Amino acid sequence: MCLACFGTGLFLGASRPALVGADQPAAAKDNAPKPAPPFAMAARLGANLYLQTAAEYRACCLAIYQAAEARLAVLRALPAQLPRPAVVMDLDETVLDNAAFESFLHRYNVEYSDDLWEYYEKNYQDEVTLVPGARQFILAAQRMGVSVVFMSNRTETNRAATAAALRRLGVADGPLKDRLVLKPKGGSSDKSARREQVAARYNVLVYFGDNLRDFSETFVTPRLTPKDGPDAYTAAIRNRFRQVDEARCHWGVDWFVLPNPAYGEWEKLIAADPFGQLRPTSIVPPKLR
Ligand SMILES: [Mg+2]
């Protein structure tokens, strides 16, 4: 099927099923309370323009990866290290830049769907680029004798396409079999079990991600509905802030987070009335004073 068919046919106006419980059985989904309306692509335009055009975003990524490289050098210099040192890196918007997919959604005026993402993941690996600084960090880690493990919620079904992208981009050195940890078909987006499996094989020194769930499932966001009311959204947002503050000892030490204003766990807490979630202000237009 051509892209134009996707743009005007089956997928037009598709919602974001990942946000309504992709990990739940079908029956549970049918009975689940309806979430807030999806955060539309039109509202993400500024975020995607920032990712694609702002040198400030590039500077952020370079700063994070350079700081991580310096931190890894310190860790590697420590005496009496455990064998098999490794770093664990999420892929999308941490190592891999999927601006092409986001541009496609905007250009064809379609909303995200898991089906469209899989279509892109499987067929358009040549369009994937790298997050600034990722390749330099990965090469530096390899020079330090540190294994790079990629842990992603890309699907195991499309392993060949993802591996081809990593090889084309020069960030896959050697066999990927045990170092490309993907989501099993029909599996959970919760990475906890996969993190434990990797930690059993490697001495993981540092984690990277653009989503807090890349670091710990404690950051999973509750599935609120409009019925819960605005206070529930505010409380859940404040709880995420508090959790991040409580994990302060990790940030920039063994957890490095890349900015992603276009999508992520955070958007589950964007309510039906996003304007109502903006910080209160006493400012009024001059003519109304
Ligand atoms: Mg990601």
CA 172 from centre of chain: 20
Q: How far is the CA of 257 from the centre of ligand 1 (A)?
A: 10
- What are the structure tokens assigned to 150, written together? 């990629």
Q: What is the pLDDT of residues 200-225, one digit of tens each?
A: 999 999 999 999 999 999 999 988 98
- Non-local CB neighbours of 172 within 8 Å, separated by 6+ positions: 163, 166, 180
Q: How far is the CA of 213 from the centre of ligand 1 (A)?
A: 9
d(CA 261, CA 168): 26
Q: How far is the CA of 285 from the centre of ligand 1 (A)?
A: 40
The runs of H, that is alpha helices, within the chain are 3-8, 26-31, 45-53, 55-77, 99-107, 114-123, 134-143, 159-168, 192-201, 230-246
Q: How far is the CA of 175 from the centre of ligand 1 (A)?
A: 22
- Give this prediction's pTM: 0.86
Q: How far is the CA of 225 from the centre of ligand 1 (A)?
A: 25
Q: How far is the CA of 89 from the centre of ligand 1 (A)?
A: 9
Q: How far is the CA of 286 from the centre of ligand 1 (A)?
A: 43
Q: What angle do CA 38, 157, 44 make, to 5 degrees?
A: 25
Q: How far is the CA of 212 from the centre of ligand 1 (A)?
A: 9
Q: What is the pLDDT of residues 236-247, one digit of tens each?
A: 999 999 999 999
Q: How far is the CA of 90 from the centre of ligand 1 (A)?
A: 6
Residue 32 banded pLDDT, cuts 50, 70, 90 = low
Q: How far is the CA of 273 from the centre of ligand 1 (A)?
A: 26
- Quote the pLDDT of residue 274: 85
Q: How far is the CA of 209 from the centre of ligand 1 (A)?
A: 6
Q: How far is the CA of 134 from the centre of ligand 1 (A)?
A: 13
Residue 31 banded pLDDT, cuts 50, 70, 90 = low
Q: How far is the CA of 280 from the centre of ligand 1 (A)?
A: 31
